[in-house]
A and B are shown apart, each in its own frame.
Chain A
């Protein structure tokens, strides 16, 4: 650039409009002016329209009495409540279905996503059919289906269908017993929380010792054996007791069940442990399968049902037996049974010692309606059902993609190092898959929350229904109401993406 003085024309200063910086400024000013003009035009029109309709603006309406009913609310609500309370009721109702939906959809979605990758043709086909059917049909249609075609088509109150555990279903929704814990029961609740924390702590501690010394601590191994025996005893007794009392009633069924279960439990700490596990698996699987097949294929004769159940249970027992013979020595095994026992047994013990009672107020059919219990309105049930089933299909695809994103070479490398399948999944595959799964999973959670607004279409009083619907219609404050509703969703969304950015930054794989 120093050789400009060779007789060439000196580079002229860029013409005013060709300078990219100035051009950029001009563009931006034009856009800003147009936008401001457009907005002031809208504001002017709105003001004129509102004036013509004799409407006022402002948020003062929030402190006025709402005067309408809300069919379902966790917060205290009456016609005398204020509009700001209606706003809160809307938010809590939205969050309620969102949280329940997220928990259920996650469980269902992970199950189906894993099933989709199963090497078993029937299992993976069933998962594929589920996904392809559900995600290609509008959610609103599915909600209408559950609400109008299924729940609203239930029999009238007087002909309610009885479900297990004293629950009933009819046109007005599902009635379930209401738990009425007494004072002492608080201790049981405390114990559950404490035991859960303790179990996690013990698990972490045991794993740490296992990495440091190569062996699980002796105390844990011993306690683990005890835990194994206890779990075997409890589960085995339950299964056998049902078998000998309900399925094939025999005299003194309970006593026999107790003796046999005790024998199996005792065997489970000796070198006959694989046999004990096999026998127990057979008992549990047979009882469950017998009920399941009998319920699902009621046209089968009981003999065929039992024979089939026995056959499947036998195969399952043989699988468990083989696995048990191949188990690593007990000091190289994670003490899962022990941890489960801690969480279940100690609270149960406290329940028994303190004499706490957890009574249930059972719904009772009276003349025109049920009394007592909790009524889950059909709108709520349909919305939870619809959101769960719909979102699960998307979560399943997310999970499948996440697992498939882990290179096949990772599995091979882990296998060639001799890692067992469980360790391979836990240490190599899952940590990598979760990095891929969690961001889209979060956006599915956000979608579910946004989709809960469709509850408005079937009359579930969530935020849009209560505030952008009823409140807006009654007060006429359209701008304010819609602004407040949008603000809630915007906040949720920004909060989620902030958390996600933090998470992504944390787990990002380090690259060159």
Chain B
């Protein structure tokens, strides 16, 4: 039965794919016109885009009044977005009522923060430990001294005057850095075998997660002063920080718990068999692994917190959104049909840039961490 025998004498060389399966035409066919129904969807999509994009473009750019424009131009009936309003109120949106001659102080804080945070976020950058210590312990003190003043000949500036993007960033950075260790403690407490501690942690976490942030802030705003000894006032910024931190720590605890549960039992057993104490086991073996797993979850919490800072108007702080709203409502000299819309679009863009950046960073870290586990 030699007729089934076959031996290839010459190898067939690879050929480029036929025209209809490669190149632009193939891409279009595959992604836009694969089937007749697909073609219909594509056409409807294009109609939708034609409907939405030109007016949007005209509003934002085409008919918009540039940063150097005047309010009269913004009041023209055909005018689009009023960017002149944004550029003229930019200082307020960034610093709030912070004394204008002292703006260099927050600027230094911004610059220092970026300088410390960027290498911390790049996985390959060296000196992680020093960097982290500087960022977590030294930076907050320096920043507080710089911003609040009162020492080293710096004019004292009360927190009531702080505002805008400055406050948004302060609350989110402080909230995330404080809620993180608090969340770890709560998560460990929730896993603890001691009933009293476990119950307390579970009760705290579940209670906080059950209620909206707005009620926690109401509580911080109205009840915190009641809880303090008579005559002691609680700074508004501090109220916001307490509320936001407690709130986020409960969510952080759940994220960390997920990481702790993902660690195989063997790791706990190995750690215990080394004769390490509980805290050493956690610090050296369990937490480093658990936290690495949950970086994306932590970043998601950071994004949520960043968006939630917009609620601190409840305690009377003027964050970015509240600053924009205040100007929209009160800047009579800029009143026009599109002033408020422009203000909100500007605020949305700022929030979007930060949140989108964080989410991309989280996805990047996720991919990086995943590679270690791919088979």
So, do A and B actually touch in the complex, CB under 8 Å?
A: yes
A residues at B contact (CB < 8 Å): 24, 27-28, 31-32, 35, 42, 45-46, 48-50, 52, 118-123, 126, 132-133, 135-142, 144-145, 148-150, 153, 292-293, 296-297, 308, 312, 315-316, 318-319, 322, 450-451, 453-454, 456-457, 464, 468, 472, 478-479, 482, 485-486, 489-490, 492-494
Q: CB < 8 Å: which of A49, A50, A123, A133 contacts B41?
A: A123
Q: Is the CB of B41 within 8 A of A138?
A: no
B178 at the interface (CB under 8 A from A): no
Q: Is the CB of A141 within 8 A of B351?
A: yes
Closest A residue, CB atoms, query B325: A144
Q: CB < 8 Å: which of B211, B226, B341 contacts A486?
A: B211
Alpha-carbon gap, A493 to B203, bound state (A):
13
Q: Is the CB of A478 within 8 A of B222?
A: yes
> Which residues of chain A come closer than 8 Å to B351, judged between CB atoms?
136-138, 141
Alpha-carbon gap, A141 to B344, bound state (A):
7
Instruction: Give, as a whole number of angstroms, the nearest-CB distance from A398 to chain B.
Output: 13
Alpha-carbon gap, A110 to B347, bound state (A):
29
B residues at A contact (CB < 8 Å): 30-32, 34-51, 193-197, 200, 206-207, 209-212, 214-215, 218-219, 222-223, 225-230, 303, 307-308, 310-311, 313, 321, 325, 328, 337, 340-341, 344, 347-348, 351-352, 355-356, 359
> Which residues of chain A come closer than 8 Å to B209, judged between CB atoms?
493
Alpha-carbon gap, A450 to B42, bound state (A):
38
Q: CB < 8 Å: which of B48, B51, B196, B226 contacts A28?
A: B196
Q: Is the CB of A122 within 8 A of B34?
A: no
Q: Is the CB of A46 within 8 A of B227?
A: yes
Across the A-B interface, the 4 shortest Cβ-Cβ residue pairs: A493-B210, A122-B45, A136-B355, A121-B31
Alpha-carbon gap, A486 to B313, bound state (A):
20
Q: Is the CB of B48 within 8 A of A144?
A: no
Closest A residue, CB atoms, query B44: A312
Q: Is the CB of A145 within 8 A of B223?
A: no
Q: Is the CB of A453 within 8 A of B303?
A: no
Alpha-carbon gap, A255 to B158, bound state (A):
80
> Which residues of chain A come closer than 8 Å to B32, judged between CB atoms?
120-122
Alpha-carbon gap, A300 to B286, bound state (A):
65
> Which residues of chain A come closer than 8 Å to B352, judged between CB atoms?
133, 136-137
Alpha-carbon gap, A378 to B252, bound state (A):
36
Q: Is the CB of A141 within 8 A of B38?
A: no
> Which residues of chain A come closer than 8 Å to B194, judged between CB atoms?
24, 27-28
> Which residues of chain B come closer than 8 Å to A308, judged between CB atoms?
43
> Which residues of chain A come closer than 8 Å to B347, judged between CB atoms?
141
Q: Is the CB of B210 within 8 A of A489?
A: yes
> Which residues of chain B come closer than 8 Å to A49, judged between CB atoms?
225-226, 228, 230
**Residue of B45, B51, B223 with most partner-chain A CB within 10 A:** B45
> Which residues of chain B come closer than 8 Å to A489, judged between CB atoms?
210-212, 215
> Which residues of chain A come closer than 8 Å to B328, judged between CB atoms?
148
> Which residues of chain B come closer than 8 Å to A297, judged between CB atoms?
47, 50-51
Instruction: Give, as a whole number of angstroms, the nearest-CB distance from A133 to chain B.
Output: 7
> Which residues of chain A come closer than 8 Å to B35, judged between CB atoms?
319
> Which residues of chain B come closer than 8 Å to A24, judged between CB atoms?
193-194
> Which residues of chain B come closer than 8 Å to A150, judged between CB atoms?
341
Q: CB < 8 Å: which of A31, A50, A464 contacts B212?
A: A464
Instruction: Give, as a whole number of angstroms, the nearest-CB distance from A474 to chain B.
Output: 13
Q: Is the CB of A122 within 8 A of B39?
A: no
Alpha-carbon gap, A492 to B209, bound state (A):
12
Closest A residue, CB atoms, query B352: A136
Alpha-carbon gap, A308 to B39, bound state (A):
13
Alpha-carbon gap, A464 to B43, bound state (A):
46
Alpha-carbon gap, A126 to B230, bound state (A):
57
> Which residues of chain A come closer than 8 Å to B51, judged between CB atoms?
296-297
> Which residues of chain A come closer than 8 Å to B45, judged between CB atoms?
120, 122-123, 126
> Which residues of chain A come closer than 8 Å to B325, judged between CB atoms?
144, 148
Alpha-carbon gap, A136 to B366, bound state (A):
19
Q: Is the CB of A482 within 8 A of B218?
A: yes
Q: CB < 8 Å: which of A27, A319, A485, A490 contacts B40?
A: A319
Instruction: Give, as a whole number of angstroms, the nearest-CB distance from B80 to chain A.
Output: 13
